[in-house]
Structure 1
């Protein structure tokens, strides 16, 4: 049981008659030291009542060690980051949010003094996109939940709370879309872009638009995992089609040590994003034909890479890709500089993510069934249905027929019979039944 004793004040090195009360209470089993104390109480009763309350909290399992109560958010955030082993790009993104937005405001604030009101007020003042504000608050909440689990807090005040969004003035106005066209990109845009960029790069564009690979998945695709064969029972025979096997991806990020210090910029192979991302993607006949030509010509292990065999950096890719989408002026020939023809815009703002989204849009337009649509996109289907409904051979054949027809129609709409002047794209038979 807690007990109190007097603590006399000292002035000029001499003990005075003035005093306060100090309480001692028994710490949890295994704690060092065995007894803890707190000083500064004006009466014995207040001291003992406070100590008895601490022992009650210890018995209930809701007591917080005083040494932990003083820990700041920044100190625990660094502990959290060092203890969570995530993919390299995920770690880099989290550190960027902490350093740029969260720690400048919350680094030295004790965990126990952080309230939802203060966090919600702060996030409304951030000069970044609303979705990024949400990511910052979500990361803070994850850290605070970990603090509860580690015994630094009894409750996370951010858990389950809905952010207040600014709806005044310009904040209520809809944001201008990156691609200023209703309906977004079309298959025709992907075909025109691929033709303009040439076979080595254009095949990457078409594979993204008609296969739905993420940027990093495309860079990580190895020729040993390209045009493998899927065999699945279908009626009295067998469904057979070529597939792309996605098992790894390239990530580009700033690497950091356990304390968050930057150690260098890396482009590194990593495992896929999650278990739904590791998948085999069925390839329509036209794309399989183009990929066979590409593999025959391409000397490098990675199917989509720079001419030197290295993975594309986003900056280098953008310098080539953006003019092809947005257009460019003519450049006259002069000493040391070759002539460059002007390019009319195909679709300003188009990027590789939008081409991946085009694939999902085409699947919806074609009525691809949900089990297969989620699989092809590398998304984990929510709900109990993912355990009951599986992609069938009929679903796969229907999807491939639809993508093949969409491509052939797009080629006709833009007036092309071949791509890059060398590949004859006669409409071929879809996946076979053997």
Structure 2
């Protein structure tokens, strides 16, 4: 049990031992306050919910640094988190003691960010902040996570026209504006569903033009200004065989004849044979071609992978086969995130049940 003593200055000091047996003390203005605090401490010790009163005084930046060091995540995930921390999280919370951060403080921060950043960026920043504070709760530095219950901005959903292009638009509008050395790259995303890193990390040894197959076994990862190769992209399901349609096959044959293989036999190297950088491709190739074709600015290179998925599903390819081609572990990812309503969906639905034989007045025997 703890005890209370009066100090020479007239204040009251509560003395107790924490669960580890270490002597602790805290000073109060009145004996009543000291007694109430000591009673709370003893009750928390009995329930197993005791927290060291001084633990929450750890600065957010110090705890966040330990949190970063303890995580095991993909290099790209860690790099993105560092960027969010540096730009939006540490400048706000770095000098705050953990136990001084309240729900209202976090809600006000989220509201402020929402006024200047995209909803997805705000949600990403908040997710990192919440994970850091959750780790503080589990580490018994604070009692509750102040991020619980915070309201987040809604993700903006674009219109159907913003989400997709048709195969006719790809062939008739976009490809003619893409420089020849990059057309096969665009088709690898649109007609094989390859991710950016899988495209720029693709080697000719993993392309079989005779059998019409691409074997995806690795991906190029761009982190902190450097590019490295990583095996087994994302998940075990990412290691896969993707069939090559004839249009892509023809483009790859032209690629082999026009563009010299890059370092380590890269299929889509930059002009000096190294890995192609996303930012350079976007600035110098993708945006000029997309704009010249008159296509919406929401059409990113990655959106071609969504187009590939929707085209296959619209043609009646079973979802489990599409899932395998995309390298998704779960079919729900394929359906929820990668399939989109085609522009002619009303005509498709109408035609599916538009059979005169169904009408007893006009049908024939």
Q: 1:313 aligns with which of 254, 274, 277?
A: 277
- Which structure 2 residue ranges, 5 or more long, are not aligned? 336-365
Partner residue, 2:28: 40
**Given that residues 306 and 312 in structure 1 are in contact (C-alpha distance below 8 angstroms), is that contact kept between their aligned partners in structure 2?**
yes
Q: 1:22 aligns with which of 4, 13, 23?
A: 13
Matches within 5 A, 1:77-116: 77-116=64-103
Alpha carbons of structure 1 residues 372 and 184: separation in structure 2 relative to 1, 3 Å? same
Alpha carbons of structure 1 residues 61 and 245: separation in structure 2 relative to 1, 3 Å? farther
Query: How far apart, in 2, do the equivalents of 1:202 and 1:23 lie?
Result: 75
Cα drift, residue 227 of structure 1? 2.4
C-alpha deviations, 1:353-377, integer Å up to 9, x for none? 1222211121221122121222222
Three-state SS of the structure 2 residue aligned to 1:66 is coil
**Given that residues 2 and 23 in structure 1 are in contact (C-alpha distance below 8 angstroms), is that contact kept between their aligned partners in structure 2?**
yes
Query: How far apart, in 1, do the equivalents of 2:34 and 2:77 lie?
Result: 48
1:8 aligns with 2:13: no
Query: How far apart, in 1, do the equivalents of 2:105 and 2:273 lie?
Result: 51
Alpha carbons of structure 1 residues 80 and 39: separation in structure 2 relative to 1, 3 Å? same
Three-state SS of the structure 2 residue aligned to 1:8 is coil
Q: How many aligned residue pairs are there?
A: 324
1:299 aligns with 2:261: yes
**Given that residues 221 and 302 in structure 1 are in contact (C-alpha distance below 8 angstroms), is that contact kept between their aligned partners in structure 2?**
yes
Cα drift, residue 52 of structure 1? 3.8
**Given that residues 87 and 270 in structure 1 are in contact (C-alpha distance below 8 angstroms), is that contact kept between their aligned partners in structure 2?**
no
Three-state SS of the structure 2 residue aligned to 1:309 is coil
Cα drift, residue 252 of structure 1? 2.4
C-alpha deviations, 1:39-65, integer Å up to 9, x for none? 22422x543442242233233221112
C-alpha deviations, 1:307-361, integer Å up to 9, x for none? 321111223212123222222xxxxxxxxxxxxxxxxx35253431122221112
User: Under a length normalisation based on structure 2, what TM-score does the superposition of the two structures give?
Assistant: 0.78
Q: 2:190 aligns with which of 200, 204, 209?
A: 209
Alpha carbons of structure 1 residues 188 and 82: separation in structure 2 relative to 1, 3 Å? same
Q: 2:169 aligns with which of 189, 210, 222?
A: 189
Partner residue, 2:316: 367
Query: How far apart, in 2, do the equivalents of 1:130 and 1:182 lie?
Result: 17
Alpha carbons of structure 1 residues 49 and 116: separation in structure 2 relative to 1, 3 Å? closer
Q: 2:42 aligns with which of 44, 52, 55?
A: 55
**Given that residues 193 and 309 in structure 2 are in contact (C-alpha distance below 8 angstroms), is that contact kept between their aligned partners in structure 1?**
yes
**Given that residues 25 and 52 in structure 1 are in contact (C-alpha distance below 8 angstroms), is that contact kept between their aligned partners in structure 2?**
no
Q: Which has the larger Rg?
A: 1
Partner residue, 2:219: 249
Alpha carbons of structure 1 residues 275 and 228: separation in structure 2 relative to 1, 3 Å? farther
**Given that residues 103 and 150 in structure 2 are in contact (C-alpha distance below 8 angstroms), is that contact kept between their aligned partners in structure 1?**
no
Partner residue, 1:347: 295
1:288 aligns with 2:249: yes
Q: 1:157 aligns with which of 146, 152, 165?
A: 146
C-alpha deviations, 1:263-319, integer Å up to 9, x for none? xx2222234233443322222244335434534664331111113211112232121
Query: How far apart, in 2, do the equivalents of 1:158 and 1:228 lie?
Result: 52
Query: How far apart, in 2, do the equivalents of 1:130 and 1:142 lie?
Result: 18
Partner residue, 2:125: 136
Cα drift, residue 70 of structure 1? 0.6
Answer 1 or 2: which has greater strand percent.
1
1:225 aligns with 2:206: yes
Query: How far apart, in 2, do the equivalents of 1:323 and 1:102 lie?
Result: 34
**Given that residues 227 and 288 in structure 1 are in contact (C-alpha distance below 8 angstroms), is that contact kept between their aligned partners in structure 2?**
no
Three-state SS of the structure 2 residue aligned to 1:251 is strand
User: Under a length normalisation based on structure 1, what TM-score does the superposition of the two structures give?
Assistant: 0.67
Cα drift, residue 101 of structure 1? 1.6
Alpha carbons of structure 1 residues 183 and 81: separation in structure 2 relative to 1, 3 Å? closer
